[in-house]
Structure 1
Amino acid sequence: MGWNLRFFLLGAILMPVEALVEAKFDNFPTDIAVIGAGIGGASSAYYLRKLFGSDVSIDMYEPHSVGGRLATAKIDDKEFESGGSIIHPKNHYMVKFAEELGLKHRKSLPSQFALYNGQEFVFTESSSSLLTLAKLLWRYGWDCVRLNKLIGQTLTHFENIYTLQDGGNAYSSVEELLYAMGGTRFVNMTQKSVTEGLKEEGFSARFINELAMAAMRENYGQTVDIPFFVGAVSLAGAQEGLWAVEGGNKRVPEELVKTAKVNLIPGEVSKVMLDKSGDRPKFLLQYQVKDPNDNQILTEQKGYDIVIVATPLNEGISNITFADLPTPLPEVKGKFHRTVANFVQGKLNAEYFGILDPKSAPTGIMTVNADILFNSIGKHNPVTIPKDYSPVGPESEDAVWKVFSQRPLTDSEIGQLFTVVKKTQVVDWLAYPRYTCPGHLGTFVLHDGLYYVNNIEWAASAMEMSAIGGRNVALLSYNWWHGLDGKVDPGRTTKTEL
């Protein structure tokens, strides 16, 4: 027996049976494109590199900054989170990324929140955790215990995805992924509102209309009419142990991109075309990039074996078109919700909120109805906190506040909320989906070799969800390339019509 035949047989023994029988291609891809450098695109690139190895070339297209909606705003010489601000301690991927990339947890500083109904505070946190618990029990009864139970159960099911993805499993749609996590429970949670879901769980109208409403307005700028699944993700932010990355949460995608050794192209993709003229199909990307010599906009084109779309394709966000595909793309449903972060350096108008002593003003004010001028007001600390850093109080003119609202606030409106305004900055963007109920759950697969991360946001828009979506499309790519069909949507026998 010749050495070549011996080598082949040894390889066949070691190769998974699925790959041996069904492999579509006899080698690894040479070129992969990732469109978008937010947390979804960055995590996709990270896992693509792990799966396909060092020889494949990964180009990442990003016309703006790495990090996408994980960004900061600068006031004086300090930066403050303008995008995703908190990470749950059970967000496995975000925790793992920080550990692997050597990123530190930001120092936690004391804060005090209150719920405001437009006329008065209906609840104010105390500096004593025991007193706060007593006040919560007095106003909301055992709903606080129910909340911990609900979040605990949700997280227990949620954590199933990590084991499944570690095993190489991938899911063709958001529905399939949610079903793998929590069975019909998670899928059904996308089809009922927060109000409906919490009522079924035994929560009181007061809890729903105050605590739950405040969480939805602060985290998603919307109300308890949004789907229950995204509402549960939002309510998980009420638990202890939340953290953020020293230097800003944007450092996670920045470091993931470096670790993945991508070729970062500062271009904007305008068209994705399927080219069948060669030995095997490829995708041609047409993109615009600025010539560094004369600032002229150049249109260029490049071919890829696999393409990952990691930017929302929804109206108002993306202008990417797709051509020469054998079947039309699945419809991209829904619009994104406008969110405005008004940064104000100045002194809070305590009198506006009926507070006599400005020093006793809460550092976080959440609102409980949709008629109020703002969604929330929070005093923020910089993303980089020196060891000798001493936070200023709510009465200080140097305090920096982030005011979330549905639109930019006028100078007179800012003047109502603050007695002293030293500096302002407005971040106005389409930050997350405009959720409707029942929700819609789209596909990750646009075509063999063409995958879409951002549909996962229609289940819930969060850093961890995007990281899960990023790993899922990397696994879909790998399983498709190697013919591992048994690793896609394993174990599902029935589907829910959505």
Structure 2
Amino acid sequence: MDWNLRCVLLGTILMYVHVVQAKVDKSPPTIAVVGAGIGGASLAYYLRKLFGNDVSIDMYEPHHVGGRLATVKVGAAEFTSGGAVLHARNRYMAKFAEELGLKHKKTFPGTTRSALYNGQEFVFTTESASRLLNFAKLLWRYGLDYVRLNKLIERTMTDFENIYSLQDAGNAYSSVEELLHAMGGAKFVNMTQMSTKEGLEEEGFSTRFIDELAMAAIRKIYGQTVDVPFFPGATSLVGTQPGLWTVDGGNKRVPMELINTAKVKLIPGVVHKVTLKNSKDQPKFLLQYRLKDPNDNQMLTEQKEYDIVIVATPLHEGKSNITFTDFPTPLPQIRGRFHRTVETIVQGKLNAEYFGVSDPKDAPTNIMTVNANIPFNSIAIQTPVSIPNDYSPVGPESEDAVWKVASQRPLADSEIRQLFTVVKDRQVVDWLAYPHYTIPGHLGTFVLHNGLYYVNGIEWAASAMEMSVIGGRNVALLSYNWWYGLDAKVDPGKSTKTEL
């Protein structure tokens, strides 16, 4: 037998013996998870897979399971609010849907017409019935940029998919930078330090493509411009590709079913303090939380001790008020702020004349904007999260059509009346939905302290459902590797880099 192969086999056997012995000598930990969004739910799922049936997992969520994956009722049906679509190559979300028995929502090919609006006119429109004609129109306006885009996305996705095999092997990464470096080398890290505009220019894309198609994609997904870092910008452009899907009944069903599968104890409390009890041999954490007394509706303060605490909700101003006390040194700084996004869900008739269209039947059903001065980011017709068997899609000329209008601020009644000639119902969701991306980008850590972890740092690379799941699994692996002393599985082949 080859000597190198013998060494590999011996190393594998020794590692296996080490893990078995560690599990014999050490009982499973008690774990607290703060937050029940897709990051927290996937984290809990992987914690259960790693630690087994005996581990105790408490999950704290004062609002609703799903976090930024939600629905809102308009008229007689429910519609998606928040994370809306998934890419065909989002392997984790696709696997969850399959394992949990969740179906893809029914689609209606040929009913969507997209358009790019500059505030005065449509600079580009698609034809709903013909993919070949749409491709020809894209080539006519953007030349080979659209072909170049497909190649860029394919290269990016190929490198991105490295994370799946790395995590399957049990590897974990202490920081977002280390995780990105493992996925795509210095390329992905560098993509967080240059703007999308700069990155696309380096790739040879034209000014027209950047100012129109790239701008529209980023405004629709993140409500920002081509000045965002190239990594989230590329994530937005992935959303322009065919094959997007959503879960029947709403994407929020994924975190709901993951939490059920993980068999967590769900506590409707607001966590406000985490205290380190000792830091010599094995740290313990005292978690304090508030919840309503069901008898007199007053807030009660409770506390509970844990071996591991994992924060799966953003630790940013306006998003969380958790304080961390009695740690020997300051915890890593959580930098940045979140970007305000307002979704106005309107049941009514679009004002086609506002967009220069004489016949409402000819109005686009997916309008994206290419000008940051336009008061809305996008307007798109919606279908219910659950499609009845007798459902048939309605067109833009119908008073029963339901539209989602995305903006950076609440729209005034006068602005809504400009956009719609008839408003039968309206619901407004106003939230801090995504990070406000800046250049240079800053990449945070997953490790706040031994035994104390943070999932949402991954959003500062890009905020997306699949990214949150990757962050959740990474932190589950960090927790497991730390608890059982598997140091070689953390930051394997650690990169040489400068501090961001």
Question: Which bracket does the TM-score occupy, shorter chain normalised?
Answer: over 0.9
SS of residue matched to 1:16: helix
Q: Letter of the aligned partner of 1:213 in structure 2?
A: M
Distance 2:248 2:23 in 1: 44
Question: Aligned in 2, Cα 1:351/1:167: closer, same or farther, shift over 3 Å?
Answer: same
Post-superposition offset of 1:325: 1.1
Q: Which residue of 2 aligns with 1:8?
A: none
Q: Which residue of 2 aligns with 1:74?
A: 73
Q: Is the 8 A contact 1:22 1:484 kept in 2?
A: no
Q: Which residue of 2 aligns with 1:42?
A: 41
SS of residue matched to 2:405: strand
Deviation by residue 1:146-180 (Cα, 9 ceiling, x = unmatched): 00000000000000000000000000000000000
Of 422, 425, 443, the residue aligned with 1:423 is: 425
Post-superposition offset of 1:111: 1.0
Q: Which residue of 1 aligns with 2:8?
A: none
Distance 1:49 1:21 in 2: 17
Post-superposition offset of 1:20: 5.9
Q: Which residue of 2 aligns with 1:117?
A: 118
Please state if 1:55 is matched with 2:54.
Answer: yes
Q: Is the 8 A contact 2:29 2:308 kept in 1?
A: no
Post-superposition offset of 1:17: 5.6
SS of residue matched to 1:107: coil
Q: Letter of the aligned partner of 2:115 in structure 1?
A: A
Q: Letter of the aligned partner of 1:112 in structure 2?
A: R
Post-superposition offset of 1:493: 4.1
Question: Aligned in 2, Cα 1:494/1:278: closer, same or farther, shift over 3 Å?
Answer: closer
Deviation by residue 1:210-249 (Cα, 9 ceiling, x = unmatched): 0000001000000000000010111000111100000000
Distance 2:66 2:493 in 1: 35
Q: How does 1:266-305 map to 2 (within 5 A)?
A: 266-276=268-278, 280-305=282-307
Q: Which residue of 2 aligns with 1:143?
A: 145
Post-superposition offset of 1:316: 1.2
Q: Letter of the aligned partner of 2:466 in structure 1?
A: E
Post-superposition offset of 1:484: 0.5
Q: Is the 8 A contact 1:23 1:484 kept in 2?
A: no
In the TM superposition, structure 1's runs of 4+ consecutive aligned residues that sit over 3 Å from their partners are 12-15, 17-25, 277-280
Which deviates the most, 18-27 or 42-51? 18-27
Deviation by residue 1:180-216 (Cα, 9 ceiling, x = unmatched): 0000000000000000000000000000000000001
Q: Which residue of 2 aligns with 1:484?
A: 486
Post-superposition offset of 1:56: 1.1
Q: Which residue of 2 aligns with 1:27?
A: 26
Question: Aligned in 2, Cα 1:53/1:211: closer, same or farther, shift over 3 Å?
Answer: same
Q: Which residue of 2 aligns with 1:6?
A: none
TM-score by length of 2: 0.95
Q: Which runs of 5+ in 2 are unaligned?
A: 1-10
Q: Which residue of 1 aligns with 2:6?
A: none
Distance 1:83 1:21 in 2: 43
SS of residue matched to 1:341: strand
Distance 1:352 1:363 in 2: 14
Q: Is the 8 A contact 1:22 1:483 kept in 2?
A: no
SS of residue matched to 1:126: coil
Deviation by residue 1:265-292 (Cα, 9 ceiling, x = unmatched): 0000000011129973211100001111
Distance 1:444 1:360 in 2: 49
SS of residue matched to 1:165: helix
Question: Aligned in 2, Cα 1:331/1:278: closer, same or farther, shift over 3 Å?
Answer: closer
Q: Is the 8 A contact 1:171 1:476 kept in 2?
A: yes
SS of residue matched to 2:59: strand
Q: Which residue of 1 aligns with 2:105?
A: 106
Post-superposition offset of 1:322: 0.2
Distance 1:463 1:129 in 2: 28
Of 234, 251, 259, the residue aligned with 1:257 is: 259
Post-superposition offset of 1:296: 1.5
Q: Which residue of 2 aligns with 1:169?
A: 171
Distance 1:327 1:162 in 2: 34
Post-superposition offset of 1:18: 7.9
Post-superposition offset of 1:16: 2.2
Q: Is the 8 A contact 2:443 2:461 kept in 1?
A: yes
Q: Letter of the aligned partner of 2:448 in structure 1?
A: L
Post-superposition offset of 1:101: 0.3
Q: Which residue of 2 aligns with 1:207?
A: 209
Q: Is the 8 A contact 2:181 2:495 kept in 1?
A: no
Q: Is the 8 A contact 2:178 2:495 kept in 1?
A: no
Q: Is the 8 A contact 1:81 1:383 kept in 2?
A: yes
SS of residue matched to 1:214: helix
Please state if 1:456 is matched with 2:458.
Answer: yes
Distance 1:496 1:383 in 2: 45
Q: Which runs of 5+ in 1 are unaligned?
A: 1-11
Q: Letter of the aligned partner of 1:48 in structure 2?
A: L
Q: Which residue of 1 aligns with 2:4?
A: none
Distance 1:436 1:327 in 2: 28
Distance 2:290 2:104 in 1: 38
After superposition, the CA RMSD in angstroms is: 1.7
Which deviates the most, 23-32 or 196-205? 23-32
SS of residue matched to 1:377: strand
Distance 1:393 1:311 in 2: 38
Deviation by residue 1:326-373 (Cα, 9 ceiling, x = unmatched): 210111100000000011110000000000110011100000010011
Post-superposition offset of 1:130: 1.0
- How many positions carry a matched residue from both structures? 487
Question: Aligned in 2, Cα 1:13/1:369: closer, same or farther, shift over 3 Å?
Answer: closer
Distance 2:357 2:246 in 1: 30
Please state if 1:337 is matched with 2:339.
Answer: yes
Q: Letter of the aligned partner of 2:126 in structure 1?
A: E
Q: Is the 8 A contact 2:283 2:450 kept in 1?
A: no
Of 438, 441, 444, the residue aligned with 2:440 is: 438
Distance 1:417 1:25 in 2: 65
Question: Aligned in 2, Cα 1:15/1:428: closer, same or farther, shift over 3 Å?
Answer: same
Q: Is the 8 A contact 1:70 1:83 kept in 2?
A: yes
Q: Letter of the aligned partner of 2:40 in structure 1?
A: G
Question: Aligned in 2, Cα 1:86/1:138: closer, same or farther, shift over 3 Å?
Answer: same
SS of residue matched to 2:491: coil
Q: Letter of the aligned partner of 1:251 in structure 2?
A: R
Post-superposition offset of 1:497: 2.9
Question: Aligned in 2, Cα 1:13/1:68: closer, same or farther, shift over 3 Å?
Answer: closer
Distance 2:28 2:123 in 1: 59
Question: What is the identity percentage for the equivalent residue pairs of Structure 1 and Structure 2?
Answer: 75
SS of residue matched to 2:88: coil
Distance 2:262 2:417 in 1: 47
Q: Which residue of 2 aligns with 1:357?
A: 359
Post-superposition offset of 1:387: 2.1
